[in-house]
């Protein structure tokens, strides 16, 4: 009668350690070099071009074809076209932004002989996580004449790093709520303390500006037109004596971007299949590069037009009605030190495979996209047939947790959508943990579903 039960086991009991480690090594290289959306889009475009994908502007309507489109350097969509688009698509959609700290538009000040940079946090963070850790500055500065300058400081062994410094415990004995103790306006980045000379006012700030000008050719006003992010300077590492976890910044959700990209490249059959890499998910999918925007719909319209469909809007609706979307985003794996926030029967466990999340949202499923039972049945049938390890999971207890993904924005277009991704421990922290098994099984799941849904 045991076969009547649904239970999962650790993937380490079933999988080849060598195979899992081989896939993990490629991912570690990726996550070390792709800490921002721009870096991730650049990486994806290079891989796609190498694999024979062409910009959608060069597509002539032929079948089969491999096409892609990047948008604003912060989002990307790619597809293997195997038939007319009106037959529908299998898509895996993930987001490539992660919680971080941004520099304000006018960031540099001087106070008590120390040059500081003013910041604003991006996405859902615990602010205290970001104090007293080594940080890198990564991003772009666009000068008045349109010249774009890439900034990357703190990633090389020869670079300095930067720190948001906290108060020592000897002077911090007052018992306060965490939300009151760690104020966003005190998250100031230390830039330096050497004055330019004895004459100038704000001589330390001026020296920092001099150094920036010498290295990058920028002046203070140029920082107004910049996207400069603070990300952890430390590298991804294997975690645990058995090396079963990977610790890194940005698993949420670049882990799904990487696994879906590799899955698309290696997928060899099936109907039209593609991936979408969104920006801005961590702040509600806003803006022209998030899932609320129209860039990926424009990509589909361009393909339909090239394939000879004149009434593009009508046929796009027809295509989307026949489309399946995997909303590829991470879930949470039980941290044994904090089990009380979970419903154990509906919580993911590290190393047990990719997590199927039937619905997201919070408190009454608000903001959720719920997969239909028919789609869930089809997905688990494919995963079982292909030998992919999977489990189910919700983001905490009903009145405790909850969260959102890009799923609802794609569902609004008429597609069938289901949430799936690996479980993380320490999600939204500067150093998240993922099981190598769950990383590998996510790749296998996306490949199987792209080919067979």
* Boundary (domain end) residue, out of 202, 232, 262: 232
Give how many domains the chain has, as a whole number: 2
Q: Based on the fold, state whether residues 418 and 407 are members of the same structural domain.
A: yes
What is the largest distance, in Å, between two alpha-carbon atoms of the chain? 86
Q: With beta carbons less than 8 A apart as the criterion, state whether 108 and 222 touch.
A: no
Q: Based on the fold, state whether residues 254 and 222 are members of the same structural domain.
A: no
Q: Based on the fold, state whether residues 89 and 190 are members of the same structural domain.
A: no
In a domain, 241, yes or no: no
Distance, CA of 45 to CA of 256 (rounded, Å)? 16
Q: Based on the fold, state whether residues 104 and 93 are members of the same structural domain.
A: no
Percentages of the chain per state (helix, strand, coil), in multiples of 5: 35, 25, 40
- Cβ neighbors of 397 (< 8 A, separation 6 or more) are 341, 342, 343
Assign residue 215 the CATH number of its domain: 2.30.250.10
Q: Based on the fold, state whether residues 196 and 254 are members of the same structural domain.
A: no
Q: Which residues pair with 119 in a beta bridge?
A: 103
Q: Which residues pair with 324 in a beta bridge?
A: 90, 416
In a domain, 6, yes or no: yes
In a domain, 149, yes or no: yes
Q: 230: part of which helix (H) or strand (E)?
A: strand 226-232
In a domain, 124, yes or no: yes
For residue 119, give its domain range. Answer: 100-232
pLDDT, position 330: 97
pLDDT tens digit sequence for 109-127 = 999 999 999 999 999 999 9
What is the four-CA torsion angle of 245, 246, 250, 255, rounded to 10 degrees? -80
Distance, CA of 208 to CA of 191 (rounded, Å)? 7
In a domain, 211, yes or no: yes
pTM: 0.96
DSSP secondary structure string for all residues of 70-113:
EETTTEEEEEEE-S-GGG-EEEEEEE----EEEEEEEEEEEETT
54-55 vs 65-71, strand pairing mode:
parallel
Assign residue 388 the CATH number of its domain: 3.40.630.10
Instruction: Please report where in the chains the tokens 């079948």 appear, as a residue.
Output: 63
Distance, CA of 259 to CA of 278 (rounded, Å)? 15
Q: Based on the fold, state whether residues 359 and 399 are members of the same structural domain.
A: yes
* Boundary (domain end) residue, out of 182, 201, 232: 232
CA 54, 55, 56: angle at the middle one, nearest 5? 110
In a domain, 300, yes or no: yes
Q: Based on the fold, state whether residues 54 and 199 are members of the same structural domain.
A: no
Q: If we measure between CA atoms, which residue out of 253, 197, 270, 256 comes closest to residue 428? A: 253
Burial (0-12, 13-18, 19+ Cβ within 10 Å), 449 = buried
Distance, CA of 97 to CA of 127 (rounded, Å)? 18
Q: With beta carbons less than 8 A apart as the criterion, state whether 218 and 224 touch.
A: no
DSSP secondary structure string for all residues of 184-218:
GGG-PEEEE---S-SSSTTHHHHHHHHHHHHHH--
* Cis peptide bond prior to 253, omega within 30° of 0: yes
pLDDT, position 180: 84
Distance, CA of 354 to CA of 382 (rounded, Å)? 13
Q: 13: part of which helix (H) or strand (E)?
A: none
pLDDT, position 401: 78
Q: Based on the fold, state whether residues 373 and 283 are members of the same structural domain.
A: yes
Q: Based on the fold, state whether residues 287 and 144 are members of the same structural domain.
A: no
In a domain, 244, yes or no: no
Q: Based on the fold, state whether residues 356 and 312 are members of the same structural domain.
A: yes
In a domain, 168, yes or no: yes
Burial (0-12, 13-18, 19+ Cβ within 10 Å), 261 = buried
pLDDT, position 399: 86
Q: With beta carbons less than 8 A apart as the criterion, state whether 258 and 167 touch.
A: no
What is the four-CA torsion angle of 252, 290, 78, 305, rounded to 10 degrees? 160
Q: Based on the fold, state whether residues 206 and 301 are members of the same structural domain.
A: no
pLDDT truncated to tens, each residue of the chain (453 aa)? 777 888 899 999 999 999 999 999 999 999 999 999 999 999 999 999 999 999 999 999 999 999 999 999 999 999 999 999 999 999 999 999 999 999 999 999 999 999 999 999 999 999 999 999 999 999 999 999 999 999 999 999 999 999 999 988 898 888 888 888 899 999 999 999 999 987 778 999 999 999 999 999 999 999 999 999 999 999 999 999 999 999 999 999 999 999 999 999 999 987 999 999 999 999 999 999 999 999 999 999 999 999 999 999 999 999 999 999 999 999 999 999 999 999 999 999 999 999 999 998 888 888 888 999 999 999 999 999 999 999 999 988 888 877 889 999 999 999 999 999 999 999 999 999 999 999 999 999 999 999 999
Question: Residue 36: phi, psi to the nearest 5?
Answer: -135, 170
Distance, CA of 333 to CA of 397 (rounded, Å)? 13
CA 25, 27, 28: angle at the middle one, nearest 5? 65
Q: Based on the fold, state whether residues 191 and 220 are members of the same structural domain.
A: yes
Burial (0-12, 13-18, 19+ Cβ within 10 Å), 292 = middle
Question: Residue 87: phi, psi to the nearest 5?
Answer: -75, -5
pLDDT, position 53: 98
Count of beta carbons in the 10 Å neighbourhood of residue 442 = 31
């Amino acid at each position: 009668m045991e076969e009547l039960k649904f239970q999962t086991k650790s993937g380490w009991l079933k999988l080849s350690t060598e195979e899992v480690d081989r896939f993990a090594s490629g991912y570690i290289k990726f996550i070390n070099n792709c800490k921002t959306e721009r870096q991730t889009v650049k990486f994806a475009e290079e891989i796609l071009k190498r694999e024979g994908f062409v910009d959608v502007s060069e597509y002539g309507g032929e079948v089969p074809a491999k096409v892609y489109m990047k948008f604003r350097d912060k989002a990307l969509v790619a597809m293997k076209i195997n038939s007319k688009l009106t037959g529908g698509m299998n898509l895996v959609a993930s987001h490539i932004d992660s919680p971080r700290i941004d520099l304000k538009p006018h960031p540099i000040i001087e106070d008590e002989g120390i040059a500081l940079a003013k910041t604003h946090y991006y996405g859902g963070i615990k602010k205290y996580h970001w104090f007293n850790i080594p940080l890198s500055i990564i991003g772009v500065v666009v000068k008045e004449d349109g010249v774009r300058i890439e900034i990357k400081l703190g990633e090389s062994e020869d670079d300095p790093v930067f720190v948001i410094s906290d108060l020592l415990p000897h002077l911090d004995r007052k018992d306060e709520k965490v939300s009151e103790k760690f104020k966003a306006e005190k998250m100031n980045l230390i830039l330096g303390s050497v004055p330019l000379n004895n004459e100038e006012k704000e001589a330390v700030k001026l020296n920092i500006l001099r150094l920036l000008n010498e290295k990058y050719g920028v002046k203070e006003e140029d920082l107004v037109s910049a996207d400069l992010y603070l990300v952890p300077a430390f590298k991804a590492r294997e975690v645990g004596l058995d090396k079963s976890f990977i610790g890194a910044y940005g698993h949420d959700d670049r882990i799904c971007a990487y696994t879906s990209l590799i899955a698309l490249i290696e997928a060899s059959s099936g109907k039209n299949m593609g991936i979408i890499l969104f920006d801005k998910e961590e702040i509600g999918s806003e803006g022209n590069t998030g899932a609320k925007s129209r860039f990926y719909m424009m990509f589909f319209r361009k393909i339909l037009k090239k394939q000879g469909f004149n009434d593009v809007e009508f046929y796009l609706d027809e295509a989307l009605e026949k489309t399946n979307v995997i909303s590829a985003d991470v879930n949470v794996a039980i941290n044994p030190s904090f089990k009380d926030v979970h419903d154990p029967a509906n919580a993911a466990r590290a190393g047990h495979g990719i997590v199927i999340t039937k619905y997201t949202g919070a408190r009454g499923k608000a903001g959720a996209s719920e997969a239909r039972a028919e789609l869930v049945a089809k997905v688990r049938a494919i995963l079982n047939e292909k030998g992919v390890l999977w489990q189910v999971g919700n983001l905490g207890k009903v009145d405790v947790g909850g969260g959102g993904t890009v799923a609802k924005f794609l569902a609004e277009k008429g597609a069938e959508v289901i949430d799936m991704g690996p479980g993380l421990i320490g999600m939204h922290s500067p150093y998240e943990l993922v099981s190598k098994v769950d990383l590998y099984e996510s790749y296998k799941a996306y490949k199987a579903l792209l080919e067979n849904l």
